Amino acid sequence: MINFKELAATYKTPLYVYDLDYMSAQYEELKSAFKGRKSIMAFAIKSNSNLSVIKHFATLGSGADCVSIGEVYRAVLAGVPNYKIIFSGVGKSDDEITQAIKLDILYINVESEAELGRVELIAKELGAKCRISIRVNPNIDPQTHPYISTGLHDNKFGVEIDTAKRMYIKANNSEYLDPVGIHFHIGSQLTELKPIYESAEIVADLVRSLQNIKIELKFFDIGGGLGVKYKDETTITPYDYAQAILSTLKGLDLTVICEPGRFLTANGGYFLTKVLYEKRNGDKRFVVVDGGMNDLLRPSLYKAYHKIEAITESLTKLSEADVVGPVCESGDFFAKGYLLPTLEHNDLLVIHSAGAYGFGMGSNYNTRGRSAEVAIKGKEVKLIRKREEFEDLIALEKEYLDN
């Protein structure tokens, strides 16, 4: 049982809290689901990029799925072996590609013919041979929020089957490219198994087609996106997920790479925020807290639901309230019409399921310092990122003030 009041008193609010034991259990459950097949779990750093969190997964044997060279550097710094690092993303710059090749990571995940050409040219300039994978867009509806759908032709990610095949032939004939993997990722917060199975089947058939023309791949990268329960979602079990994928790979000797993020971290994270006061505009009740949309953007961006737990002595009847922050935007809210008791100054709200896409999507909007982060492992509580102060926010500007 986490003592949120004690944590808030010690580290102040707003505050992120991560339960590393929960994250370990999620990792082991997903890893064991692929038992009997060579596999690599590559933690999706975009879901939670704190160095201590990345290091925690690295100690469990995890690799890293990265979508910027900054995330690649984070992975290396946190102890992820270079040979377990994957670099994905639609818009890699020449400098990012150069650095990734020099780091000799597992592979660069290529998302367009144009990008393949840039990777080949840069590898040639470096006198290197670059391992690549190609991200295939199977044009399958993932049945998730449109902002986190990535597997349709309407989305910017990946290439269609015919284009992918053409790219593999080019890469296989290149002196500077080594096609070792194939990748697909149809979206995030997936709660339906059928689209995952259908996508894997399409991509596995492409692997067989490539084998027929003597292009032998080693890695079958299934991306991530396994959904979690925020409210009342019916989720997919890791076992069923793994069996659906593996059933499409009969006769193929491939190492499966899985890139979980939200599944590992979301429900192991909590955002603590303190009540400043209540106010009413007519019949409308607002609970104003010290955390804002710059700290936790998901409700404002996606209208995402997060369970909110009130830690208070109040015994009043529950009534609807909008939970809002101090940021100067009407979109600054954590919940609308949420049932809460009457709350007093310094009462605490615990916003659940905040371990994924919480702190990482934060900003300094309104010149607000980002919150501290703490991690719990066993009985040990550890500060893993200090709270930003005003001097931190102006450090890159101050020296130019009088220029």
Please check if 329 is assigned to a binding site.
yes
Q: Which of 66, 130, 258, 328 is catalytic?
A: 328
Please check if 298 is assigned to a binding site.
yes
Please check if 302 is assigned to a binding site.
yes
Tell me phi and psi for residue 18, to 5 degrees: -120, 130
Would you say the C-alpha torsion 161, 100, 69, 397 has a positive or negative sign? negative
Contact 187, 148 (CB under 8 A): yes
Please check if 260 is assigned to a binding site.
yes
Please check if 313 is assigned to a binding site.
no
Please check if 225 is assigned to a binding site.
yes
Would you say the C-alpha torsion 304, 310, 314, 318 has a positive or negative sign? positive
Please check if 118 is assigned to a binding site.
no
Contact 34, 244 (CB under 8 A): no
Q: Which residues contact 381 (CB under 8 A, 6 or more apart)?
A: 7, 10, 374, 375
328 catalytic residue (yes or no): yes
Please check if 262 is assigned to a binding site.
yes
What is each CA distance from 357 to 144, 231, 270, in whole angstroms? 16, 17, 12
Q: Which residues contact 244 (CB under 8 A, 6 or more apart)?
A: 193, 196, 197, 200
* Alpha-carbon gap, residue 41 to 25, rounded angstroms: 14
Is 100 strand, coil or helix? Answer: helix
Q: What is the CA radius of gyration of the chain?
A: 23
Annotated binding site for pyridoxal 5'-phosphate: 225, 259-262, 357
Residues at the binding site are 225, 259-262, 298, 302, 329, 357
Active site residues: 328
